[in-house]
Amino acid sequence: MNTLIGTYECKVDAKGRLMLPVAFKKQLVAVMGNGFVLKRAVFQPCLELYPMAEWESMMENVNKLNRFKKKNNDFIRRFTAGVKPIELDVSGRLLIPKDLVGFSGISKEVVVTSAVNILEIWDKDKYEQAIDDAANDFADLAEDVMGQDDADGVS
């Protein structure tokens, strides 16, 4: 699957249904019929929406972990906590289960944003706070993550 692109503000209705933005539906049209997996994010109070093929690829890696090591079992339990299979309804909406709404603090206003090959679904206020918090350290983070030196010492 290609990289997803975009960040959109949306609304969740009273029943917890979210209309996936049209731009994402266009990008996901080839995989939409296979369904999705919705789960808690590991590091942030948001949700992650995996196209099924991306989820299966992730699970191939997880399944290689030695289950006789406690830290691996702990990781698997935490990583898969609250995992739900999701399909879009005929209107292009996805239903966010109540336990995942509670985890993420999603209210009426949400942000749906691309995170390479998955989508993140955030409560709008929490998203803005996370972006603001990361802004202070982003230059250092970018240098640490992406600022690799060339072989000859010139970057």
Rounded CA separation 17/96 (Å):
6
Number of domains in the chain: 1
Residue at 151 is within a domain: no
Q: What CATH number does residue 32 fall under?
A: 3.40.1550.20
Residue at 1 is within a domain: no
The confidence band for 1, taking pLDDT boundaries of 50, 70 and 90, is low
Q: What pLDDT score does 151 carry?
A: 52
Does residue 40 contact residue 32 with C-beta atoms inside 8 Å? no
Q: Compute the mean pLDDT over every residue in the chain, rounded to the nearest whole number.
A: 91
- Sequence-distant (≥ 6) Cβ neighbours of residue 74 within 8 angstroms: none
Does residue 41 contact residue 120 with C-beta atoms inside 8 Å? yes
Q: Cβ atoms within 10 A of the Cβ of 144, count?
A: 10
Domain holding 139, by residue range, is: 7-146
Across 71-91, average pLDDT: 94
Burial class (CB in 10 A: 0-12, 13-18, 19+), 137: exposed
Residue at 71 is within a domain: yes
Residue at 2 is within a domain: no
pLDDT digits (tens, 9 = 90+) for 15-64: 999 999 999 999 999 999 999 999 999 999 999 999 999 999 999 999 99
Phi/psi at 132 (5° precision): -60, -45
Rounded CA separation 46/127 (Å):
8
